[in-house]
Amino acid sequence: MPPGIQRLAACLGDVPIGVFTADWTLVWWNTIWSALHGDPAVLPTAERNLARALFGNGAAHASMLPVRSERGPDAFAASVVADLKDAVSHYAADAQLDRLVQELREISDVFAHHWATQTTAAPHTTDRKTIWHPETGDILLDCDVLIVSGADLRMVTYTAATGSSNAGKPDLLRVTGGRRTATA
């Protein structure tokens, strides 16, 4: 990760941040990201991939919390597939990327359908998502994907609208580390 992006991420410490490669492999995250989504460090390195979490059948998929996109049930999946198609067009000789796509085409009918039928789709850049978390219940958050030019990285951030009923939920997760608190 470029030093400037590392510094930017550090400055945004109260915001859940994950940094992904072109194939949606998570390469960096902060503490509040772990509190929101679960600790990626407990997953095998190969399973720290958003496409595997969405379409796979391994540890990443099993650990993913339910996420609903405001754009509809298919939009999130379609945009991730569009991003992978774009990555394949830029990195046609990347054997690891090719294996990921082949694996997902074989194990996921949804992925295979999007891969075969999708000609163009908007890349995953911004969305409003509801994430169900066992500590807080539903959390409505704005998800922004910032593209890091020249590094082929995506910095994913989640924020809640100021003053909304969701605004304090990320703070609660930051304080509790995403673990249930005891009640009296």
Q: What is the CATH number of the domain that holds 46?
A: 3.30.450.180
Average pLDDT, the chain: 88
Residue 23, domain member (yes or no): yes
Residue 83, domain member (yes or no): yes
CA distance 22 to 98: 13
Residue 37, domain member (yes or no): yes
Lowest mean pLDDT among 20-29, 58-67, 101-110, 175-184: 175-184
Residue 182, domain member (yes or no): no
Residue 90, domain member (yes or no): yes
pLDDT at 121 over 80: no
What is the reported pLDDT for 87?
92
Residue 51, domain member (yes or no): yes
pTM: 0.89
Residue 100 has phi, psi (to 5 degrees) of -60, -50
**Number of separate domains in the chain:** 1
Residue 152, domain member (yes or no): yes
- Quickly tell me which residue has 């075969």 as its tokens: 116
User: Cα separations (Å) of 140 from 29, 81, 165?
Assistant: 20, 24, 9
What is the reported pLDDT for 119?
67
What is the reported pLDDT for 180?
53
> Which residue spans within 87-180 are E strands per DSSP?
126-133, 137-148, 153-159
Provide the domain limits for residue 149: 3-176
Average pLDDT over residues 77-99: 92
CA distance 91 to 99: 12
pLDDT digits (tens, 9 = 90+) for 47-81: 999 999 999 999 999 988 888 889 887 888 888 99
Average pLDDT over residues 37-55: 94
Crossing angle of helices 109-117/95-107, nearest 10°?
A: 120
What is the reported pLDDT for 182?
45
Residue 66, domain member (yes or no): yes
